Amino acid sequence: MEILIMQNIMSSNQKLADENRLTFSKEKILVINIMASPGAGKTSVITKLLEYFNHNEIGIIEGDIASNIDAEKFEKMGIPVIQINTGGGCHLDANMIKTAFHSLAKTRFSMLFIENVGNLVCPSTFDLGENVKMVIASIPEGHDKPYKYPAMFQSADVILLNKIDLLPYMDFQKDLFIKGVGALNENVEIIEISSKTGQGFDFLVDWIKDRFSKAIILTK
CB 93 within 8 A of CB 13: yes
The one segment of 24-32, 47-55, 75-83, 207-215 that binds a copy of itself by CB under 8 A: 75-83
Q: Name which of 29 and 61 has its Cβ closer to a copy of itself.
A: 61
34-to-1, 58, 104, 137, 171 alpha-carbon distances in Å: 36, 14, 18, 11, 26
CA distance 143 to 103: 39
Nearest distance in Å: CB 27, a copy of itself: 19
Q: By CB under 8 A, what part of segment 176-215 binds a copy of itself? A: none
Q: Name which of 65 and 205 has its Cβ closer to a copy of itself.
A: 65
The one segment of 14-22, 25-33, 45-53, 69-77 that binds a copy of itself by CB under 8 A: 69-77
CA distance 160 to 5: 30
Binding mask 4-43 for a copy of itself (x = CB under 8 A): xxxxx-x--------------------------xxx----
Residue 87 touching a copy of itself (CB under 8 A) = yes
Residue 150 touching a copy of itself (CB under 8 A) = yes
Task: Give me the amino acid identity at 157.
Answer: D
DSSP codes of every residue in 45-110? HHHHHTTTS-GGGEEEEEEESS--HHHHHHHHTT--EEEEE-TT-SS--HHHHHHHHHHHTTS--S
Element (H, E) at 36: strand 30-36
Nearest distance in Å: CB 26, a copy of itself: 23
CA distance 80 to 71: 9
Nearest distance in Å: CB 57, a copy of itself: 20
158-162 vs 58-64, strand pairing mode? unpaired
Residue 218 touching a copy of itself (CB under 8 A) = no
Nearest distance in Å: CB 217, a copy of itself: 33
Among 47, 52, 90, 174, binds a copy of itself (CB under 8 A): 90
Handedness of CA 92, 94, 99, 103 (dihedral sign): positive
The contact set with a copy of itself (CB under 8 A) reads 1-8, 10, 37-39, 64-69, 71-72, 75, 81-90, 96, 99-100, 103, 117-122, 125, 138, 140-142, 144-145, 147-151, 163, 166, 169
